[in-house]
């Protein structure tokens, strides 16, 4: 994640190197000891995540689902990745010109990226990416991902098989990776029936990965039109009885449904549809989306020349939210500079959904990234229906571009507002430490900050012309602590294996935030940095920020290494 600040005791610290870890031998114990909702952070916009006390204790029977795309692999042999921005930055006049030479005479439906993902133009068979996604979604407290299989009869078997393999390994490492389900073809009929046969025969009927099945009303759950089944056929009846079905509503403009309705949505216009209102009160499901390819008249391409598309900055009427940072109150509304960074559309939908308190909120979406370029769609020439640009897109996964990880942190904040957060750990950190003494001195220091052990090295092809290799994974942190007395602050870091030599470049860098208001000179919120240069002569160098990337030395500091403990 970008610019993340983890608050520990009286300081905030971040270590910049391969981080992926845990602190226990069994997956169950690891999961018990790793509680992401107790992690404090301030994002790159200065927004502080809520903790227990700001929000409720963890609430029972509240769930968050995430729309997730497994289709990033069928196209790689034929297509180099192209972002719309790389074309339109040079040729802005091409935006609604199908025949403009800047598009290279590509075919109707040719996929384009709205921006580059943080992890590059990856495929869904890249195990490094799938492990990252497992951790990002677990840390955000997402309960289930719904695979997008809404087109034709495609279910992207190779992709979901690889994902389930990697996520099973992640769970063994203590990562609370989400359950999985499918949202099938919106059209129903034979295409949906074919898909049902496919996933039932390959996955469900064989009991494969049953610990990942999303259970609703006592059965594995799918979003699909049950009318696609012929209940006079024995196999269809078997499938019908095996699953809990919710019909997948395609329109953003559906009316609220009654308590007897078995329908869920995936994207709704504000104020969003309430699906499955209960007889004695309450709502079963509601949608929250980052943006909508729609306006008050219905569906519309994301690059419609009308200029009325409901992008990331859109709100229904006047809407604002506020937060404090840098000694100031920041008011976020349509007038704020770079409004697309702040998720006004997303926040307005979250606020409404939380106010209605459904059982489950369906979020659109995590990692769609691409949309086809069509000669004409919904009366727009050279149309990009679903995704188009940083403003007119609806992904949450961190971007290499201007959006960074702002929407990811906004997701985490709102999941906590909806589901609550775990109680904060006990603090008992006032203690004088001899850093050359026994490690047992640290046993009574609390809290312990534990993280997942393990991860994936990267060695995988991406889209055509892209190859990603990263074998720098090292110093896998499993635990961090801080202690203090009247004169010193002591940092403790434990890694899975023995630490690499301190002569390594970029070794065990430590960023320290001593002023969470953001007023003091800082780099991305951090006032101090240790090990910008590798230690020399048994001493590390402490530097302070002069503002931005400029630092100056304060003094040398003592450190010791004992096997896998710094």
Co-location of 285 and 379 in the same domain: yes
pLDDT of residue 327: 85
Q: Are residues 380 and 476 in the same domain?
A: no
- Domain assignment of residue 32, yes or no: no
Tell me what the mean pLDDT of segment 213-229 comes to: 97
pLDDT tens per residue across span 388-434: 999 999 999 999 999 999 999 999 999 999 999 999 999 999 999 99
In the predicted structure, residue 24 carries a pLDDT above the cut 50 = no
Single residue among 419, 452, 477 that ends a domain in this structure:
419
* Whether 475 and 384 share a structural domain: no
pLDDT band at 9 (very low <50, low <70, confident <90, very high): very low
Apex CA 156: angle with CA 155 and CA 160, to 5°? Answer: 105
Q: What angle do CA 121, 127, 128 make, to 5 degrees?
A: 70
Q: Give 366-394 pLDDT, tens digit per residue.
A: 999 998 999 999 999 999 999 999 999 99
Average the pLDDT over each of 18-22, 61-65, 416-420 and give the range with the smallest value: 18-22
Strands 144-148 and 179-183: parallel
Residue-wise pLDDT for 265-276, tens only, equals 999 999 999 999
Same domain, residue pair 69 and 209: yes
Could you tell me the pLDDT band of residue 32, with boundaries at 50, 70 and 90?
A: low
Q: Choose one of 419, 435, 457: the last residue of a domain.
A: 419
pLDDT for the residue 48: 94
Q: Which domain covers residue 484, as residue numbers?
A: 6-20+425-558
d(CA 422, CA 418): 13
Q: Provide the 3-class DSSP secondary structure of residue 528.
A: strand
Q: Would residue 177 count as lying in a domain?
A: yes
Whether 4 has a pLDDT exceeding 60, the answer reads: no
Number of domains in the chain: 2
Quickly list DSSP for 502-516: TTSTT-SEEEEES-T
- Same domain, residue pair 414 and 440: no
Average of per-residue pLDDT values in the chain: 92
**Cα-flanking dihedrals φ and ψ of residue 27, to 5°?**
-60, -40
Quick count: other Cβ atoms within 10 Å of Cβ 263? 19
For residue 10, the model assigns a pLDDT of 33
Verify that 477 and 407 share a domain, yes or no.
Answer: no
User: What are the C-alpha distances in Å from 253 to residues 225, 265, 379?
Assistant: 18, 10, 19
The answer as to whether 474 is a domain residue is yes
Higher pLDDT, 9 or 422: 422
229 contacts 240 by C-beta, under 8 angstroms = yes
Nearest to 313 by CA among 352, 351, 343: 343
pLDDT exceeds 90 at position 23: no
Percentage of residues in the chain with pLDDT exceeding 90? 86
pLDDT band for position 11 (50/70/90)? Answer: very low
Retrieve residue 490's tokens.
Answer: 């002591």
Residues 318 and 394: beta-carbon distance below 8 Å: no
- Same-domain status, 276 and 392: yes
List, in order, residues 6 or more apart from 505 with CB less than 8 Å away. Answer: 534
* Domain endpoint, select from 419, 434, 453: 419
Residues 414 and 443 placed together within one structural domain of the fold:
no
Strands of the sheet with 380-383, listed across from one edge: 110-113, 370-377, 380-383
Residue 28 forms part of a structural domain: no
Query: Residue 321 is part of a domain; what is its CATH number?
Result: 3.20.20
Given a cut of 90, is residue 64 above it in pLDDT? Answer: yes
| CA distances (Å), origin 5, targets 14, 16, 119, 513, 515 | 6, 11, 20, 8, 12
Are residue 528 and residue 494 in the same domain, yes or no?
A: yes
Structure tokens at 41: 């952070």
User: Do the Cβ atoms of 167 and 87 come closer than 8 Å?
Assistant: no
Q: φ, ψ for residue 263 (rounded to 5)?
A: -130, 140
399 and 508 in a common domain: no
Instruction: Reply yes or no on whether the pLDDT at 516 is more than 90.
Output: no
The pLDDT of residue 200 is: 98
Establish if 26 belongs to a structural domain.
Answer: no
Mean pLDDT on 96-104: 97
In a domain, 37, yes or no: no
Name residue, tokens 């009929």.
189
Contacts by 397-400, CB closer than 8 A, 24 or more apart: 397/117, 397/118, 397/133, 397/136, 397/366, 397/367, 397/369, 398/1, 398/2, 398/117, 398/118, 398/136, 399/115, 399/116, 399/117, 399/118, 400/115, 400/116, 400/117, 400/118, 400/120
d(CA 384, CA 377): 8
The C-alpha atoms of residue 416 and residue 48 are separated, in whole angstroms, by 12
Closest-CA residue to 50 (of 416, 399, 320, 368): 416
Least confident of 1-5, 25-29, 88-92, 313-317: 1-5
Within a domain: 294: yes
pLDDT value for 548: 87
Question: For 488-508, how does the pLDDT look when each residue is reduced to its tens digit (9 = 90+)?
Answer: 999 999 999 999 999 998 999
What percent of the chain has pLDDT above 70? 94
Residue 85: pLDDT over 90: yes
Q: Torsion-angle region of residue 160: left (phi > 0), alpha (psi -120 to 50) or beta?
A: alpha
Q: What is the pLDDT of residue 472?
A: 78
In a domain, 40, yes or no: no
Q: What is the pLDDT of residue 496?
A: 93
Tokens 């279910």 sit on residue: 155
User: If you ran DSSP here, which 8-state letter would residue 48 be given?
Assistant: B
Please tell me whether residues 505 and 414 are part of one structural domain: no
pLDDT of residue 526: 92
Do 70 and 116 have their domain in common? yes
pLDDT of residue 14: 41
């Amino acid at each position: 994640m970008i610019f993340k600040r983890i608050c520990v005791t009286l300081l905030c610290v971040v270590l910049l190197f391969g981080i992926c870890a845990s602190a226990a031998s069994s997956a169950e114990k690891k999961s018990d000891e790793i509680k992401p909702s107790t992690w404090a952070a301030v994002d790159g916009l200065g927004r502080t995540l809520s903790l227990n006390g700001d929000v409720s204790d963890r609430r029972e029977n509240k769930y968050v689902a995430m729309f997730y795309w497994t289709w990033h692999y069928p196209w790689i042999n034929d297509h180099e990745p192209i972002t719309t921005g790389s074309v339109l930055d040079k040729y802005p006049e091409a935006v609604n010109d199908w025949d403009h030479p800047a598009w290279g005479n590509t075919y109707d439906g040719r996929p384009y990226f709205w921006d580059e993902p943080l992890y590059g133009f990856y495929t869904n068979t890249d195990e490094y990416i799938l492990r990252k996604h497992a951790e990002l979604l677990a840390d955000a407290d997402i309960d289930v991902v719904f695979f997008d299989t809404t087109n034709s009869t495609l279910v992207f078997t190779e992709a979901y098989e690889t994902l389930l393999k990697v996520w099973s390994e992640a769970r063994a490492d203590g990562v609370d990776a989400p359950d999985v389900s499918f949202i099938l073809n919106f059209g129903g009929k034979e295409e949906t029936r074919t898909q049902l046969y496919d996933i039932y025969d390959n996955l469900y009927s064989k009991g494969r990965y049953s610990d990942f099945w999303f259970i609703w009303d006592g059965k594995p759950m799918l979003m699909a039109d049950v009318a696609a089944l012929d209940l006079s056929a024995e196999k269809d009846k078997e499938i019908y009885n095996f699953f809990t079905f919710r019909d997948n509503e395609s329109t953003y403009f559906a009316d609220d449904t009654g308590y007897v309705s078995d329908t869920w949505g995936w994207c709704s216009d504000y104020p969003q549809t309430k699906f499955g209102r209960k007889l004695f009160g309450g709502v079963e499901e509601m949608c929250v989306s980052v943006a909508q390819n729609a306006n008050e008249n219905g569906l519309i391409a994301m690059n419609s020349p009308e200029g009325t598309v409901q992008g990331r900055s859109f709100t229904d009427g006047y809407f604002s939210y506020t937060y404090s940072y840098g000694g100031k109150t920041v008011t976020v509304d349509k007038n704020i500079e770079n409004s697309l960074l702040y998720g006004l559309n997303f926040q307005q939908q979250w606020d409404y959904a939380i106010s209605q308190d459904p059982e489950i909120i369906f979020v659109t979406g995590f990692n769609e990234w691409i949309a086809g370029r069509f000669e004409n769609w919904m009366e727009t020439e050279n149309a990009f229906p679903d995704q188009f640009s940083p403003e007119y897109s609806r992904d949450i996964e961190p971007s290499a571009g201007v959006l960074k990880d702002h929407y990811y942190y906004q997701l985490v904040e709102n999941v906590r507002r909806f589901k609550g957060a775990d109680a904060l750990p006990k603090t008992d950190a006032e203690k004088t430490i001899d850093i050359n003494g026994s490690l047992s001195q640290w046993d009574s220091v609390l809290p312990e900050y534990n993280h997942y052990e393990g991860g994936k090295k990267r060695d995988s092809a991406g889209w055509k012309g892209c190859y990603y290799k990263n074998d720098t994974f090292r110093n896998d942190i499993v635990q961090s602590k801080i202690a203090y007395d009247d004169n010193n602050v002591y940092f403790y870091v434990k890694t899975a294996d023995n630490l690499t030599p301190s002569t390594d470049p970029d070794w065990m860098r430590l960023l320290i935030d001593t002023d969470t208001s953001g007023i003091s000179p800082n780099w991305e919120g951090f006032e101090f940095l240790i090990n910008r240069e590798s230690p020399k002569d048994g001493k590390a160098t402490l530097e302070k920020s002069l503002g931005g990337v400029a630092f100056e030395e304060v003094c040398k500091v003592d450190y010791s290494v004992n096997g896998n403990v710094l």
